[in-house]
Amino acid sequence: MEKSKRKKLQIFFDSDIEPQYKSEESGRNNEASKGQVWEFIAIATVPLVLVLGNSMLVPILPDMQERLGISQFQSSLVITLFSVTAGLVIPLSGYLSDRFSRKAIMIPSLIIYGAAGVLAGFGAVWNSYTVIIIARAIQGLGAAGTAPIAMALAGDMYKEATESKALGLTEASNGAGKVISPILGALLALWVWYAPFFAFPFFCLMSLLAVMFLLKEPKKEKKAPEPGPYMKNIGKVLKEKGRWLITSFFAGSLALFVLFGVLFYLSDILELEPYYIDGVKKGFVLAIPLLGLVVTSYTTGSVIKKNGILMRWLMNIGLALMTVSLGLCIFFFNQNLTLFIGLLTLSSIGTGLLLPCLNTMITGSVEREQRGMITSIYSSLRFLGVAAGPPLFGWMMEKSHQIVFISVTALALLALGLVFFFIKPEGKVGG
């Protein structure tokens, strides 16, 4: 962790620079604050485009099945293969970002991500499922070096309360992408069904330019270790802090497994009797629980300020809220749509309480030289949770709708018990 002394700014962020003259400080604060706000916006665009590149395609999957003559399973691979590829490659990207620099990994990753998106778009124009699926796998490789590295970079650039706020806003940016992507994807598909494929690279280009020109990565204080010592240090971290780190990894991946699985479930039942809600209208309904996640993530990141005791309370409250609301869904999932959406929104609010606390604890748990790998392991498991949600929920839905909510309630209760007993931050998290 950096030991350099930091001065607090009056608006949002902590400064990395110690003013040379007291008389200059007030005049420089506004300019420095504006610059750091732009820095954060640049970081926040990375998780945003990551979500847009995946979730914008969800509304067009039925059209893809019809146009290309493929099965529902084949169309689901467009989403799942992307997430699985990214999840497997993320740890390697984390190591490379520790070995070299964050931007050295993020910039080429964004280029690969966007270029493969263009290729997938042409695959759709050519009615070639093979080209689309290959391009999506390549996009997964690019995605591995985006949002997870952005989380580590936020930990490098900001400290104290600012770090938790930045990470909370990053989580909110991720959630905001989930809110707008189904609506945006449905709107673009009104023009031509494959339009979302070509719209995404434009957003990716904007993020690439922001990362290149708005971010100034802090200089490394230590020489990057060789692979052998590096892995030894990672093993040491996991040995010393593995009990709560592994619990954090499990809780974070479970939260996203439940979130995406429930959204998949909701997306499916909305098109059936008695609702018959589809298209853009369905996108707005799906956005309601996600909006709860966004607002709560932003608020949580703003108030926790690395306060370990407060984080512990919020994590347990969040998981308890998830357990209770999902448990009530067992009895009310088919009674009233408004009540059902309300319960799912409460569950998303619980997720919004949990994730910013986990992000802050995990990024602050290790020195900068190992942060990329630790946050990447966490992000990798989150990706795999996202990938597992829809197919497992689909399988459970074939058995029984009640089994869906009995299962996720039991998992949320298990996570609550593990977090309650194994994650006990005290005082100031991260030192």
pLDDT (tens digit per residue) in 357-390: 998 888 877 777 777 778 888 888 888 887 788 7
Q: Mean pLDDT across the chain, nearest whole number?
A: 83
Look at 131-140, 197-206, 387-396 and tell me which has the smallest mean pLDDT.
387-396
pLDDT at site 419: 96
Look at 14-28, 42-56, 205-219 and tell me which has the smallest mean pLDDT.
14-28
Over residues 274-322, the pLDDT tens digits come to: 888 877 787 788 888 988 998 898 899 888 877 889 999 999 999 999 9
Question: What's the CA angle centered on 214, arms 211 and 215, to 5 degrees?
Answer: 65
Over residues 106-164, the pLDDT tens digits come to: 999 999 999 999 999 999 999 999 999 999 999 999 988 887 788 788 878 877 667 77
pLDDT at site 1: 41
Which residue would you say has higher pLDDT here, 73 or 353? 353
- Give percent above pLDDT 90 in the chain: 30
pLDDT, mean of residues 58-78? 82
At 265, the pLDDT band (50, 70, 90 cuts) reads confident
Both tokens of residue 347?
């569950």
pTM of the model: 0.76
Burial call 288-299: b when 16+ CB within 10 Å, e when fewer: ebbbbbbbbbbb
178: amino acid identity, one letter: K
| The listed CATH number (3.40.50.720, 3.90.1280.10, 2.40.70.10, 1.20.1250.20) that belongs to domain 33-212+225-422 | 1.20.1250.20
pLDDT at site 325: 96
